[in-house]
């Protein structure tokens, strides 16, 4: 009896599955979380793309848990962000915490799950576009005309606390042009542009970006007509530059002529020769060798006649000198030997 009941149940399930397959009914396809965005670091929203529904009504739910936790939570708000989205309010948003989330799709034929997505609110910030963009043409007296623009930061961002820093970028182009001209404005909410084409109608937009995150969308375009007399008068400036340049050139020429230097000497100055400390080069030019040697520290050079007298006296007193030295001395000084014959004889005796 039990076997008959089991067989009937299996047969019924197979018949049901066969009927579903013939009608194109399948389990839902795999969903995908494709974007998460925070406009101000206080709240954020995630969106997903549903897979195929399998021909049956399909329910979607998002579950998440924070890193380091095991308890799973379900999405707190499926309405604020629109279809296929989950919105996290202030009470559910934590900075410097990683969220791990997935989407579950379910119908009568089964379920499927998306891949896990890791989200850090700090790095998914994308603010709303700036507001109240105002554009004007300014033509002050004695100055160049320019295009002046001003805007306000998004309302959801509080810049007064210093918790948030925004950078701005501007783009503009003539109405019929294809390419945009982009200018980075930094943190300021005002900007001036000088180079414009007179008589053209311009489109102007602005966007913003946080210190960590993504650029916002561009603000709605603002149109401005540039007058035909939008001409920059630079005649006075160019005349001043020409006069100043001429004066500088005259001063340089006068200075070079006054000093008597040629251009080659100014560009390639002569290489100074080596100098001896304490040595006067004029002594060498005058040819005074005694003073020159005295300056170099060479005393009593070359030997004078006093040296010869000392040598003679030494030879006369020293009795032990060899006869050879005396003969040499006699050859060198024959006059002295003729003057003193008695002395030599006395010594010999």
> Per residue in 67-113, pLDDT tens?
888 899 999 999 999 999 999 999 998 888 899 999 999 888 888 89
- Which is more confidently placed, 77 or 344? 77
> Residue 270: is its pLDDT beyond 80?
no
What is the Cα–Cα distance from 209 to 215, expressed in whole angstroms? Answer: 4
Tally the C-alpha atoms within 13 A of residue 264's C-alpha that lie toward its C-beta: 1
pLDDT of residue 197: 78
pLDDT of residue 275: 55
Integer CA distances (angstroms), 175 to 147, 226, 343, in order: 16, 11, 133
Tens digit of pLDDT for each residue in 153-203?
A: 988 777 776 677 899 999 999 988 889 999 999 999 999 988 777 788 899
What is the Cα–Cα distance from 26 to 52, expressed in whole angstroms? Answer: 9
pLDDT band of 317, cuts 50, 70, 90: very low
> Residue 234: is its pLDDT beyond 70?
no
What is the Cα–Cα distance from 224 to 196, expressed in whole angstroms? Answer: 11
- Which is more confidently placed, 74 or 345? 74
CATH code of the domain made up of 24-123: 2.60.40.10
Average pLDDT over residues 311-316: 46
Average pLDDT over residues 330-348: 45
- Which is more confidently placed, 316 or 122? 122
* CA dihedral for 338, 340, 342, 344, sign (positive or negative): negative
What is the Cα–Cα distance from 332 to 346, expressed in whole angstroms? Answer: 23
What is the Cα–Cα distance from 331 to 284, expressed in whole angstroms? Answer: 39
Averaged pLDDT score across all residues of the chain: 75
Tell me the H-state helices in the chain.
Answer: 2-22, 235-259, 263-267, 281-286, 289-296, 305-317, 323-332, 334-339, 341-348
- Which is more confidently placed, 302 or 192? 192
pTM of the entire predicted model: 0.55
Ordered by start, the domain boundaries in the chain are 24-123, 131-226
Tens digit of pLDDT for each residue in 133-150?
A: 999 888 777 667 788 999
- Which is more confidently placed, 189 or 5? 189
Cis peptide bond N-terminal to 124, omega within 30? no
Cβ contacts of 204 within 8 Å, gap of 6 or more:
133, 135, 149, 170, 171, 172, 221, 222, 223, 224
pLDDT of residue 156: 78
CB atoms within 10 A of CB 111: 12
Report the candidate in 205, 213, 119 with the shortest Cα–Cα distance to residue 157: 213
- The number of residues making up the chain comes to 349
Report the candidate in 178, 185, 82, 192 with the shortest Cα–Cα distance to residue 130: 185
Q: Which two tokens stand for residue 73?
A: 């939570």
Q: How far is CA 268 from the centre of its chain?
A: 38
Share of residues in the chain with pLDDT > 90 (%): 31
pLDDT of residue 249: 85
pLDDT band of 205, cuts 50, 70, 90: very high
> Residue 30: is its pLDDT beyond 70?
yes
Strand ranges inside the chain, DSSP E? 32-37, 44-49, 59-66, 73-74, 85-88, 98-107, 110-113, 117-120, 131-138, 146-152, 166-174, 181-186, 190-193, 201-210, 222-225
Please give the class, per CATH, of domain 131-226. mainly beta
Phi-psi region of 297 (alpha: psi -120 to 50; beta: other; left: phi over 0): left
Of 12-26, 29-43, 74-88, the poorest mean pLDDT is in 12-26
């Amino acid at each position: 009896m039990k076997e008959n009941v089991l067989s009937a149940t299996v047969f019924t399930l197979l018949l049901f599955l066969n009927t579903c397959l013939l009608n194109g009914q399948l389990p839902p396809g795999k969903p995908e979380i494709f974007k998460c965005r925070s406009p101000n670091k206080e709240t954020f929203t995630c969106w997903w793309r549903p897979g195929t529904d399998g021909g049956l009504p399909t329910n979607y739910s998002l579950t998440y848990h924070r890193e380091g936790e095991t308890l799973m939570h379900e999405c707190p708000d499926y309405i604020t962000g629109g279809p296929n989205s989950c919105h996290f309010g202030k009470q559910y948003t934590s900075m410097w915490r990683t969220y791990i989330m997935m989407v579950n799709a379910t119908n009568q034929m089964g379920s499927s799950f998306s891949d896990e997505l890791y989200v850090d609110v700090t790095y998914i910030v994308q603010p709303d576009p700036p507001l109240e963009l105002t554009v004007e043409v300014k033509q002050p007296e004695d100055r160049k005309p320019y295009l002046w623009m001003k805007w306000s930061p998004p309302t959801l961002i509080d810049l007064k606390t210093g918790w948030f820093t925004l950078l701005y970028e501007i783009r503009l182009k003539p109405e019929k042009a294809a390419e945009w001209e982009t200018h980075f404005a930094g943190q300021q909410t005002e900007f001036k542009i000088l180079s414009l084409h007179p008589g053209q109608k311009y489109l102007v937009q602005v966007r913003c970006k946080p210190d960590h995150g993504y650029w916002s969308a561009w603000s709605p375009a603002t149109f401005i007509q540039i007058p035909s007399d939008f001409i920059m008068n630079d005649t006075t400036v160019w005349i001043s530059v020409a006069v100043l340049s001429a004066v500088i050139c005259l001063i340089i020429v006068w200075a070079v002529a006054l000093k008597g230097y040629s251009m080659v000497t100014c560009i390639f100055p002569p290489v100074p020769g080596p100098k001896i400390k304490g040595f006067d080069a004029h002594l060498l030019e005058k040819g005074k060798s005694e003073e020159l040697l005295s300056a170099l520290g060479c005393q009593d050079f070359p030997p004078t006649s006093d040296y010869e007298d000392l040598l003679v006296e030494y030879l006369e007193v020293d009795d032990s000198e060899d006869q050879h030295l005396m003969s040499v001395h006699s050859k060198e000084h024959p006059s002295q030997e003729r003057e003193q014959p008695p002395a030599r004889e006395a010594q010999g005796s």
